[in-house]
Amino acid sequence: MTLSTEKKQEIFEKFGNSKTNTGSTEGQVALFTQRINHLTGHLKQNQKDFATEKALVTLVGKRRKLLDYLKNKDILKYRELINLGFNDIYRYFNKSKQEYTFWDYFAGSWQKNYGMRIDHFLVSDNLLENIKTININQKPRGKEKPSDHTPIELEII
């Protein structure tokens, strides 16, 4: 799908504060989200379109990097964007769980389970029904010289 110039200008005016501000992080995230939503809908109808699936995964990765940048730069704008239809998928399915992905090495944080969840998957509403499983893999922490954090694993069907 090619977005029309008018549609792109509308997106950048709404999220980038000006229709000519095409380089703003917020505008780029909104544009990527629009494309991700379209590709997700396409893949629901064309499940064997592996080229589109690869493009979707690449686009989600690019959006993730921009969101990470925005989170470090301006947490309020990050939260504002998150509320535009993105879901923290782990929290969505595990509302009451207190699980973490990072434990400091000091003061026995791992043993006391004093941690933070610093790894996130953010997905649009269109993708929610395609989530098969999501979990935090704590097995790497059991190794002899473990990392200070563990991965979140997401399976999408």
pLDDT in tens, 97-122: 788 888 888 888 888 888 888 888 88
pLDDT in tens, 15-41: 877 888 888 888 888 888 888 888 888
- Please state, for a pLDDT cut of 70, what percent of the chain lies above it: 97
**Where on the phi/psi map is residue 107: left (φ > 0), alpha (ψ -120 to 50), or beta?**
left
Residue range(s) of every CATH 1.10.287.10 domain in the chain: 1-84
Mean pLDDT of the chain: 85
pLDDT in tens, 81-90: 776 677 888 8
pLDDT computed for residue 112 by the predictor:
87
Q: How many CB atoms lie within 10 A of CB 97?
A: 12
pLDDT computed for residue 34 by the predictor:
85
The DSSP secondary structure of 78-98, one letter per residue, reads: HHHHHTTTEEEHHHHH-SS--
Side chain identity at 113, as an amino acid letter? N
Q: Whole-model pTM?
A: 0.56
Among 124, 127, 123, 102, which Cα is nearest to 113's?
Answer: 102
Two structure tokens written together for 152: 């979140």
Query: Domain 1-84's class?
Result: mainly alpha
Q: What is the mean pLDDT of residues 132-152?
A: 86
Residue showing tokens 């002899």 = 144
pLDDT computed for residue 95 by the predictor:
83
